[in-house]
Chains A and B, each alone.
Chain A
Amino acid sequence: MSVQTWLERHAQTLVGSLGRLSQQPVATLMTVTVIGIALALPLLLGVFLNNARTATAQWNQTFDMSVYMDKKATPSRTQALAKELRSRPDVAAVRVITAAEGLAQFRSASGFGNALDALEENPLPDALVVTPAPAASTPEGMAALEAAIRTEADVQSVQADTEWGKRVQAILGVLRRIVWLTGALLALGVLLVIGNTIRLDILNRRSEIEVMKLVGATDGFARRPFLYTGIWYGLGGGLVAILPVEIAVLLLAAPVARLAGAYGSQFRFLGLGVAEGGMLLAGALALGWVGSWLAATRHIRGIDPS
């Protein structure tokens, strides 16, 4: 068989199987929708998770560290330490809050002004607010920076909420695993749905397959239209799956932007990119192919003319 004839055959079968599906629009739509919903579930979870990761990555940047100096430290020592820290690559900025400034802030913010007046001396130490560089804004980077600052002389204590970040990352790790598990289970479900649909299709066309085999068709030839049917199911299911995800993104974009704005963040809720959408469709297509291949290979082998 020449390459051109071969291509012709495949193109014919490709279009032919689509035509056959369109002759039963309701049944086809049902199958495609079931596949689409099964794919949409892990997809939605995945999109949420990706957004959660982006969002928490941005939050980490706002995790400033508070460094409290020893009461005995001189103002020049505090300034020297601030200068030293600024020169570190994992530090983005250092702000000095002297004991007097701290007291003034506390007085105006706490409403304990009169009580503070009763104190004979300023109880607050000098403090530094250290903003880690973006690259060091991971739980590990923060921990390393914190440990480094602790070893400095005249540092009384360092407060950094790295624990919180670690917990968020751990939770996201668990969720990511759950998305993969759900995705794997539902992919298996899609395989079964496609396999079963193809099996019924083959049973319906049993006599046709018998005739084909009688006039010299190989199993592979008889199987081909069903493989293309499976590919169409997968592709259709993938397209159906994208729909709920895009709707969710549209519905969530504005409220999430408001929420982020309230926290002073530029965070935007993102849907599927072109690459991710393409990967989804390719994956769905592959599922359709594998599911129909398994079913068709098994059931066509069993059909013999009599």
Chain B
Amino acid sequence: MIRFDQVHKRYTNGREALAGVSFTIADGEMAFLTGHSGAGKSSILKLIALIERPTRGQVFIGNQNTASIKASGIPQFRRHLGVVFQDHKLLHDRPISDNVALPLIIAGVPKREIDKRVRAALDQVGLLSKEQGLPLELSAGEQQRVGIARAIVGKPKLLIADEPTGNLDPDLALEIMQLFKRFNDVGVTVVIATHDVHLIDRVGARRIGLADGRVAPPAAA
């Protein structure tokens, strides 16, 4: 599903975030990217979401070399990808249901179908009763679950998350991770960047350790 081949990423400010990263994540696998901040976790996720492009090396997503995707093809590419952010990135001026519906509206799904799928997605994250509320009426953990509902409403094959539990206390964090695990159980490939090593041990999934822009041997990570 995902293959990084000797990927380098140097930002315009000169910082080298990735220095020759290679790894493969199989279809239906769940993997954690770990490492200190600045180790390159976020850069990898940005390369997967085509927010950034590699300076050198190649990134394959679902057997497609991302270098072949032009700027005009990015919107279409992202519609097959679910992204969860540490700060949720919800739109606070509209109801929760509208937030979750956004990717479907953008993709041009008919309204009746949208209603059905939004309710299904909110049901999966346990927030069906809050459908008509505003994001700010929810707790941090609930807001993150809305973010997850928005990421999975388009039924993506690949779900990526950047520090999704960064702002949550341990119990809520575990709940969120178990939620991701459930999506993985039904076949979604899940890649999560996190620095919370204890949590990974409790969920039990593959771990790709990063240090100084390189994949670190398991012992060092």
Contact = CB atoms under 8 A, between A and B. Distances in A.
B157 interface: no
A5 B83 contact: no
Contact of A221 (B77, B106, B111, B150): B106
B89 A211 contact: yes
In which size bucket is the chain A interface?
Answer: 20 to 34
Interface of A: 1-2, 4-6, 8-9, 207-208, 210-218, 221, 304-306
Contacts of B51: 214, 304-306
Nearest to A217: B106
B133 interface: no
Contacts of A210: 89
Contacts of B111: 5, 8
Interface in B131-179: 150, 154
Given A215-B106, A216-B76, 10 more contacts: A2-B110, A5-B108, A5-B110, A211-B89, A211-B102, A214-B51, A214-B89, A215-B83, A216-B78, A216-B154
B111 to A, nearest CB: 6
24 contacts: A1-B108, A2-B110, A4-B110, A5-B108, A5-B109, A207-B89, A208-B91, A211-B89, A211-B102, A213-B75, A214-B49, A214-B78, A215-B78, A215-B150, A216-B77, A216-B78, A216-B103, A216-B106, A217-B75, A217-B106, A221-B106, A305-B49, A305-B51, A306-B51
A208 B150 CA distance: 14
B79 A216 contact: yes
A209 to B, nearest CB: 10
A208 B106 CA distance: 13
B110 A215 contact: no
A5 B154 CA distance: 17
Contacts of A207: 89
Contacts of A306: 51
B67 interface: no
Interface in B67-114: 75-79, 83, 89-91, 102-103, 105-111
A216 B77 CA distance: 7
B78 A9 contact: no
B153 to A, nearest CB: 9
Contacts of A218: 75
A4 B108 CA distance: 10
